[in-house]
Chains A and B, each alone.
Chain A
Amino acid sequence: DVVMTQSPVSLPVTPGEPASISCRSSQSLLDSKGYNYLDWYLQKPGQSPQLLIYLASSRASGVPDRFSGSGSGTDFTLKISRVEAEDVGIYYCMQGLHTPRTFGQGTKVEIK
């Protein structure tokens, strides 16, 4: 299975400040068409995960533009330009190129 490794595990943030989460995969997620099959999810406390970013950099419907995704191959980053209080929760990356799909262990974002 493809191993997804996120860092940091915990991320204390200050509202209004930027934040960044890294995700690395043990195999390339770049397909022959040039797409990176990497998605980002946010699981808010007590809720189901919600899609933020798909194909590494495409923002899902309704997701604020302060969220952005980048990267290719095996190294990916989720950035929040200015953190808001509602952004707290656990962020997961997930690869969708290889079966089974696998998730990172999660990054817990909390307000300082």
Chain B
Amino acid sequence: QVHLQESGPGLVKPSETLSLTCTVSGGSISGDYWSWIRQPVGKGLQWIGRIYTSGNTNYDPSLKSRVTMSVDTAKNQFTLRLTSVTAADTAVYYCATGSKHGSGYDYIDSWGQGTLVTVSS
């Protein structure tokens, strides 16, 4: 099973851009899909979106105008960019991946440890 590690600034100012990187180890990033999920402190989970190594993406429509995901296969990394952040974007951000069932369903079974991003001036 692959290991995922998030990295990036823990503090971002309002209206600026949040950028996080997830480094994949123990396996290749190629030929799979990669997700971002966040969790405001003390609250539930929100799926942000996912990207296939082909570049195809699916985003939560409520965040779509502010979200960009990308993959760097040479570095075995994928990234999340969230623009125009507000305090409501303060959360623990997880990168995740999964396995493909014979039905075609990609279920999420590997998570990073998560990184807290606080939006504050």
Contacts and interface: CB of A to CB of B under 8 A. Distances in A.
A48 B45 contact: no
A54 interface: yes
Contact of A106 (B44, B101, B103): B44
B49 A51 contact: no
A48 B114 contact: yes
Chain A interface helix/strand/loop/mixed:
loop
Interface residues of A, number: 27
B105 A55 contact: yes
Contacts of B44: 92, 103-106
B27 interface: no
Contact of B105 (A35, A60, A99, A104): A35
A54 B113 contact: no
B103 A99 contact: no
B31 interface: no
Contact of A48 (B60, B103, B113): B113
Given A100-B60, A100-B61, A51 B46 contact: no
